[in-house]
Structures are given as C-alpha cells and as structure tokens.
Amino acid sequence: MLDNPFVSDPSPAYMAYHFTHFFHGQYSPVNTLFYAAVYLLAGYNAAAFHTLSLLIHLTNTFLVFVLSERLFELQSGWSGTERVLYAGLTALVFGIHPLQVESVAWISASKVLLYVLFTLAALLFYIRYIQRKRYRTLVWVMFFYLLAFGSKEQAVILPVTLLTLDWYYGRLSTLGLSPRTWLRPVVVEKVPFVAVALLMWYFSSRNGLGHIAGVNAYPLGQRLVFGAHSIVVYVFRFLAPVKMYYFYFYPMMQGEPLPAMYWSYPVLLAILVWFGVEQYCRGNRLTVFGLLFFTVNLLLVIHLLPMPRKMITADRYMYLSIIGLTVAAVPFIRSMLQWFAERRRSWMPGVLMTMWLAAVGGYAMYRTTQWKDSPTVKRNINELIERRKAQGEKGLENPVKEGPVETKKVPM
C-alpha cells in the first residue's frame, strides 16, 4: 500500500489508469479507492486503516446473519426463534474464527473484506429476486458483482455461487436436456453474468494473469492431490484451528515426487464427498448447500488451475467459504440439541459449543498478537524454516524474507 502511487495521489488520471490496468499483478481499483479515501481522512495512520477494516468485517458479519436467516427460512419445522439463533451462531463463527484474522488484521487483505462485502450484498439481492421475481433486482446483483470484482478477482466465481442458490431454492429441479431448457429464466438470466465473467477472465489474461497453462507449474496429477489436501486442511482448520501460519509451504519443490503422506488426502476427500452424497440422498438440503458453497468459493484457489501461487493454502481464502461449513453444520447441531433434550441433558450441547467458541475465539485473539507487525507475523515461519533446515531438508528458501520492493512507474 505504501508503494502504491494511486493512494497518495488519487488524481483522475491515476484512477483512470488503475481501473484499466493491473498493479503488482492484481486488479483491485475499488480497494485502492478505499485506501485513497482513508488516506485523505487520516493519512498513513495505521489505526485508521485497521479500524475501518474492522468495521467492514463487522458489517460482513451482520450480512452473514441476514443471509443465514434467509436460508434457514426454507427449513420446515424450524421456529422463528430457531432461525434467529442459528443465524446468530453462523454470524458469530464468521466473526470470531481464527481463519478470519489474516483478512482483518492485514491491511493489504482489505480487498478480501471488500470483495466479500459486495458478494454478500449480491447474494442477498439475488435471494430477493428469487422470492419476488422482479428483474430490476438483477441489476443490483450485477452492480455488486462488478464492485466485488473491482475489489478482488476471486469474485469472478459469483455466477456459480448463484447456481448453488438456484439449486437450494429448487429452481433447477425442472431443468431437462431439451433445447427449451436453455430458454428458461433460470438459464437466460445467467447469460449477462457469465458474459461479464468471461470478459473479466479475458481482461486478466491480457494482463498476464488468469492463464490456464504454465511452463513453471506442478503437473496436473500433483495439483489434484494439492486440491484434495487444500479442501481437507481447510475443513480441519475450521474444526480445530491449530498450527496456523502466515505462509503454508508446498510439500516439495517442482520436479520432486509427492511425499507419501499426501496420497492420504484424496482418500479423505473421497470420504467428504461420500458424506455429501449421503446427505443429499437423505434430503438434507441445507448441509449439501453449505458444502457446495464452501467448495465453489474455493475452486479458484485449490490448484485445479496452475495459477502462480507460492503457497499451497492461505487462511484468507476461507474468509467467504467458512460460511458454507458453518451452515452445513447447523442441522447437526440442531439434531444434537434435540437428542440431548430428549434425554434431559439439554445443558450439555450448550456447554460443548461454549467451550469450542471460547477456544476458537481465544485463539483468534492470540493470532491478532502475531499480526502485530511484519517481523512478528513472519517469526514463526522463520523458526519453522530453521527447524526444517536443521532436519536436513534441501532446497528450502525463505519465501517471506524481506527484500527491496519494486515499484512500477505509471505511464501518463
């Protein structure tokens, strides 16, 4: 941010350039406008940036509550009080989980906060469209889609997320294989969003990003294993967030064989897939939707495409997807409460949930101390590198070492 000339000099010429070009390999002009606005108000006051990032996170937490409550309306047999309580639980997990710390504490990750803010707004307007069938509502969905992409390119996946909502609301059940299927509203209304997504992808590729092939990529077979590893690890970090770092290494250098233990991840992923299919067969629509939401919003960061990433996973990639895992867990929490209530031990689930929430919340507070400054957040990575080198690992370079920052001159 300090090396971004658009922040301290938000002139119309600079802004026009920033909206039509990538900067340091990323396209986030809306995020840069956020930086520029804060700079005009408070200069490079770190407290101001952190405060506004926290306010955006709190706004997102509220929107998660509203979105969850809308989703729970479709659950038959749930009282209004239950919907509010479980929506509150979903929002609480979103707000305090340690996986969220990186996106909130790291000023450079404010693009994640903003893209999720606009994505959640788009999803809420899309639900309103499903319920009221007013086509002008889709204009708002598109508006927030464009703002989300202007904050972070990962937002390009929104049309697929909209399809998961279509499935959850039963809008895909009548589709068939006949040509008339392509003329149904649920299909036709997606055409503008898919067109915009393709234009976004083309724009990225024109700037040297978004390419599907690359000469310096891991082979497809290894990337599929990395994808299985990523999904399984994200689920584990959601349930038991321990040993969290600023940087997560690949298990080997390019050209080397996979470590034997990594072949267990496709098996674990197969178990998760079987679990999802089982829930689908049982009619547990909410859990299946949650798992789909979780997976869809990770598709671009689980190595299916050979994108130029130095890390195998990152906590900030879970900032939106964590909603899906929490929503998927809610029916089981409700069943557990009912099971214990029938045995006159209704206090036990509350105690267990309180203990888990206290543990994750406490660890999140500890993670904020690790994000105090750049040397502090990188300290445990440097220590990990030294331990691995002492164990005889070769070819291990420090990916987070400090070095000179290259600034790009903006042509005017």
Q: What is the pLDDT of residue 401?
A: 54
Q: What is the mean pLDDT of residues 85-111?
A: 95
Classify residue 173: in a domain, yes or no. Answer: yes
| 3-17, 60-74, 365-379, 381-395 — most confident range | 60-74
Judge whether residue 310 has pLDDT over 90: no
The Cα 390–Cα 371 span in angstroms is 26
Radius of gyration of the chain (CA): 22
DSSP of 292-336: HHHHHTTGGGSSSS----S-S--GGGHHHHHHHHHHHHHHHHHHH
Residue 407 located in a structural domain: no
Asked if the model's pLDDT at residue 31 lies above 60, the reply is: yes
34 in any annotated domain = no
Measured distance CA(339)–CA(332) in Å, rounded: 10
Residue 37 resides in a domain? no
Residue 343 has pLDDT above 50, yes or no: yes
Determine the average pLDDT of the residues in 226-251: 92
- At 245 the pLDDT is 87
Pairwise CA distance, residues 210 & 149, whole Å: 14
117 assigned to some structural domain:
yes
Q: Label residue 142 exposed, middle or buried (CB < 10 Å: 0-12, 13-18, 19+).
A: middle
Name the token pair of 120: 């959640």
From residue 267, alpha-carbon distances to 171, 231, 262 in Å are 33, 12, 10
- Domain with 215, as residue range(s), is 45-390
pLDDT over 70 (residue 176): no
Tokens representing residue 82 in the block: 């239950």
Reported as a pLDDT band with limits 50, 70 and 90, residue 214 is low
Give 242-273 pLDDT, tens digit per residue: 888 888 888 888 888 999 999 999 999 999 99
Is residue 404, in this structure, part of any structural domain at all? no
pLDDT at 385 over 90: no
* pLDDT surpassing 60 at residue 408: no
Q: What average pLDDT does range 121-127 have in this prediction?
A: 97
Q: How confident is the model at residue 209 (pLDDT cuts 50, 70, 90)?
A: low
pLDDT averaged over every residue in the chain? 86
Write a three-state SS string for 125-136: HHHHHHHHCCCH
In a domain, 201, yes or no: yes
CA 31 and chain centroid, separation: 16
Domain annotation covers residue 410: no
Whether 341 has a pLDDT exceeding 70, the answer reads yes
Total domain count for the chain?
1
In the predicted model, what is the mean pLDDT of residues 17-35?
79
How far does the chain reach from its first CA to its final CA, in angstroms?
20
Cα 66 to Cα 77, 96, 130, distances in angstroms: 19, 17, 16
